[in-house]
Each structure stands twice: as C-alpha cells, then as structure tokens.
Amino acid sequence: MRKKIVAGNWKMNKTYEEALSLVSEIDHMVRDEVNGEVTVIVTPPFPYLQPVGKLVQGNSKMHLAAQNVSEHESGAFTGEVSAAMLQSVGTEYVLVGHSERRMYHHEDAQTLYKKMKMALAQGLKPIFCCGEPLEERDADRHFEFVGQQLHDSLSYLSNEEFDQVVVAYEPIWAIGTGRTASSQQAQEMHAYIREQLARLFDAEAAFNTSILYGGSCNPGNAQELFAQPDVDGGLIGGASLKSRDFVAIIKSF
C-alpha cells in the first residue's frame, strides 16, 4: 500500500541556527503529537543536510531529502552536488524537476531523466515534481501538459527503478501564490497522473505510488486535500518553515 507523506521543501530559507531550531521543534512535535503512519520528510538547503539528518535519525517517522542533485556522476562541475555525495551524508530522498529548477535553471526533460537515473543508482528515492503553468490550465491543456512531463522524464525507467519514485503534482499557479488548487482540481489531476503511470509502468506500480499535492497547502486546506482518494500527502513550501503549521499539516490525514 502506498505511503502517506508530508514533505517540507525549505527552498533557500533559514540560517544554520534557524534550520536546527526548526527541525528540532518539528522532531519534538512529531514524537509527541503524531500517532498514525506518516512519512515526514524535511528538505533543507545543502549545507544543513548532515546536521539536520543527524537530528532526525532517531525519529523513525522523519526522513531527509535534498532539493537537487547533479545529472553528472563526478568531476569538474563547480557548484554541483552528486548523488553519491548526498547518499554519503545520509540523504534518503531528493527533489527532481521542481518548477523553480525547470524555470530558473532551464532543466529540461532529458536533464531530469539523467538526474533520476543518478539518484536511483545511488539508492536515493526521487520525488519527481510536475505541474502546469497558468496558461496551460487556462487553455484547458493541463492534463496533456502534465502527461507529457511524466512521459518525457519517467518513461525510460525500469519498473524496479520506478518503484522508488514519489510523484508530486505542483501546479505552478498555486506555488507561493496563496491560490491553492481546489480539492476537486487536485483529485482529478492526481487520478489522471495515476492513470498515466499505469500506462507507463503497470497498474500495481501506479496504485502503490504516493502522489503528493503541492502549492499553497496550509493547515486550513490540507485536510480536504488529503481526504481525496488519490492525494497521498503534500509537498509543502512556505508552511513548512513554521513548525506549528507544518505539524498541523502532518496531522491533517
């Protein structure tokens, strides 16, 4: 059965001290207040991966993710961080294809596919992000757009590789805008994504894949979103920077 997951993407926020306070607050609250089966993932900036990872390693509900991984294995790529490096400091998951990386760093489908392969080869679990810009939704092409993103970066993976993948649907118009997708919009896209995954892999793999919703998810809307049959949790930006809000979202299943 697929996992329920809430992942906090901290993006480029927090100093070292702030990051440690945030994660220790989350760790304490998760221990004290979260009873059910849920996988909680924190995604700090690179310099804090190891200390944040150390802090959460005694908490079986909490897991560590990186925000990015290089498509190259090693060598003369100044500023890049490889999958092997991430693995060696205890990283378990990695975001691939976040819309901010696609937009500001021109990461295309081929690059994302290479990142997926690198991550998987090192035993990291990719959280593959997809989602349409507003123009595509307004033109009623959002299903086609997301279907293409899935096809272009995932279809060349083997079934064994795909078993390790989490998918996150993040409509670009909902990210950081305060305008969340309605639970109905999220559900219909998640069901569509699952259908596409069944075509690319098989029905069982699609059924077992966690599909997270991201985009202005907060303590006020998480419960309704997570109640949808194909929404298996959330990828949280802004609200993951406040421990109380993040934990309230975790408790929304």
In the complex, the residues that contact ligand 13P under the rule CB under 6 A are 9, 98, 170, 175-176, 214-217, 235-239
Q: Active-site residue among 71, 100, 107, 170?
A: 170
Query: What is the C-alpha to C-alpha distance for residues 14 and 29, in angstroms, rounded to an integer?
Result: 19
Query: What is the C-alpha to C-alpha distance for residues 209 and 201, in angstroms, rounded to an integer?
Result: 11
* Smallest distance from ligand 13P to CB 93, Å: 12
Q: Checking phi first, is residue 139 left (phi over 0); if not, alpha (psi -120 to 50) or beta?
A: alpha
Nearer of residues 201 and 248 to ligand 13P, judged by Cβ: 248
| Active-site residue flag, 188 | no
| Active-site residue flag, 98 | yes
Nearer of residues 149 and 201 to ligand 13P, judged by Cβ: 149
* Smallest distance from ligand 13P to CB 114, Å: 21
Torsional sign, CA 150, 156, 157, 158 = positive
Q: Active-site residue among 63, 71, 98, 136?
A: 98
Closest to 157 measured CA to CA, from 208, 102, 119:
119
Nearer of residues 81 and 222 to ligand 13P, judged by Cβ: 222
* Smallest distance from ligand 13P to CB 175, Å: 4
Nearer of residues 28 and 179 to ligand 13P, judged by Cβ: 179
* Smallest distance from ligand 13P to CB 246, Å: 10
Burial class (CB in 10 A: 0-12, 13-18, 19+), 86: buried
Task: Just list the catalytic residues.
Answer: 98, 170
